[in-house]
Amino acid sequence: MSFSGFSKFALGSLLVALGVDAGTPASCTNTQISCQNTTAVTDSCCFNAPGGQLLLTQFWDTDPVTGPVDSWTLHGLWPDNCDGTYDANCDSTRAYTDIPGILTAAGKTSLLRYMQTYWKDNQGDDESFWEHEWSKHGTCINTIKPSCYTGYTSKEELVDYFEVAVQLFKGLDTYKALAAAGITPSTSKTYTSAKIQAALKAATGHTVTLGCSNGTLKEVWYHFNVKGSVPAGEFIATEPDGVKSTCATSGVKYLPKSGTKTSPSSPTGL
Ligand SMILES: *[C@@H]1O[C@H](CO)[C@@H](O)[C@H](O)[C@H]1NC(C)=O
Ligand SMILES: *[C@@H]1O[C@H](CO)[C@@H](O)[C@H](O)[C@H]1NC(C)=O
């Protein structure tokens, strides 16, 4: 999956092919695109509603540093309503725990290894962070309800949630897209929001949401609508569901994942 060509791609057959003793998500034909539908769609296994805008969100954590120095990390996959509001914690009976155990039992050890590198909690507790993302956001994705699967096996919708999020993330290399526009981490340089947006828009074709804290770039959110179900459908890049960027117009810092510690005790040059 290439970065430049990711704005419209199908995940379905790939994910189905990777399945281990799992059921099959709904197969959907001639469905409308979520949030872009022109008539009401009643098949809730083939049409994402009310959460029809799916966000793939990423972190750039420098204090403490998480993940590889030359990669952003995964935050989550969130279903927003088409107007930018969102539901959260939609099904407490599916607030699953022991996500490594669930993924391992499903034969998804390489997915788990990937998550251990790229889906990081800045407090160092990846497992609770994954549980939080799943319970808060994953349980609100209507097209992965257990009842949508033929031959449902326990917790397989959680496996689909993490699998789809990782596949999307792999096609959205924020570090590379910024570097291609000369936007590289620096303790001294600053950038305009317009330059950062232009770099990411060149890659995706659409505006993203930028998150800053204390004048420093920390988050990027990518926005999609979906044709069909989340596990078997097609993600179509789209504009944000509202203006939520929190970065200043100019003077935005993008700090390196090393050498940013204020403490003089940290070693340098490693
Ligand atoms: C799109 O589908 C949703 C869910 O069925 C529905 O509530 C909404 O009214 C539809 N939009 C249009 C323009 O028909
Ligand atoms: C915010 O940035 C200023 C100036 O770069 C720095 O001195 C300060 O420590 C930062 N505050 C936090 C909470 O990171």
Summarised one tens digit per residue, pLDDT across range 80-104 is: 999 999 999 999 999 999 999 999 9
Q: By percentage, how much of the chain surpasses pLDDT 70?
A: 88
Q: According to the model, what pLDDT value does residue 203 have?
A: 83
Q: According to the model, what pLDDT value does residue 191 have?
A: 98
- The answer, yes or no, to whether residue 266 has pLDDT greater than 90, is no
**Catalytic site positions:** 75, 133, 137
Would you place residue 14 in the very low, low, confident or very high pLDDT band (cuts 50, 70, 90)?
very low
Asked if 45 contacts 37 with a C-beta cutoff of 8 angstroms, the reply is: no
Ligand 1 site-directed mutation target among 31, 32, 35, 37, most atoms within 8 Å of CB = 37
Task: Calculate mean pLDDT across residues 173-200.
Answer: 98
Q: DSSP letter string over 200-221?
A: HHHHHSS--EEEEETTEEEEEE
Domain residue extents for the chain: 8-55+68-172+223-237
Q: Spell out which residues line ligand 1, taking CB within 6 angstroms.
A: 37-41, 49
Distances (CA, A) of 217 to 17, 92, 185, 213, 263: 37, 33, 10, 7, 21
Asked if 55 contacts 78 with a C-beta cutoff of 8 angstroms, the reply is: yes
Would you place residue 71 in the very low, low, confident or very high pLDDT band (cuts 50, 70, 90)?
very high
Would you place residue 25 in the very low, low, confident or very high pLDDT band (cuts 50, 70, 90)?
confident
Q: According to the model, what pLDDT value does residue 21 have?
A: 60
CATH number of 8-55+68-172+223-237: 3.90.730.10
Question: What are 105-126's pLDDT values in tens digits?
Answer: 999 999 999 999 999 999 999 9
Spatial distance between the Cα atoms of 232 and 150, rounded to a whole number of angstroms? 13
Task: Calculate mean pLDDT across residues 189-217.
Answer: 96
- Higher-pLDDT residue of 235 and 10 is 235
Q: According to the model, what pLDDT value does residue 259 have?
A: 55
Spatial distance between the Cα atoms of 28 and 161, rounded to a whole number of angstroms? 18
Spatial distance between the Cα atoms of 62 and 218, rounded to a whole number of angstroms? 8
Please report the atom of ligand 1 found closest to the CA of residue 50: 4
Spatial distance between the Cα atoms of 138 and 168, rounded to a whole number of angstroms? 15
Distances (CA, A) of 254 to 139, 192, 204: 33, 11, 20
Residue 188: exposure state from Cβ atoms within 10 A (0-12, 13-18, ≥19): exposed
What is residue 126's three-state secondary structure?
helix
Which amino acid is it at 125?
Answer: D
Cα four-point dihedral sign 53, 58, 63, 64: positive
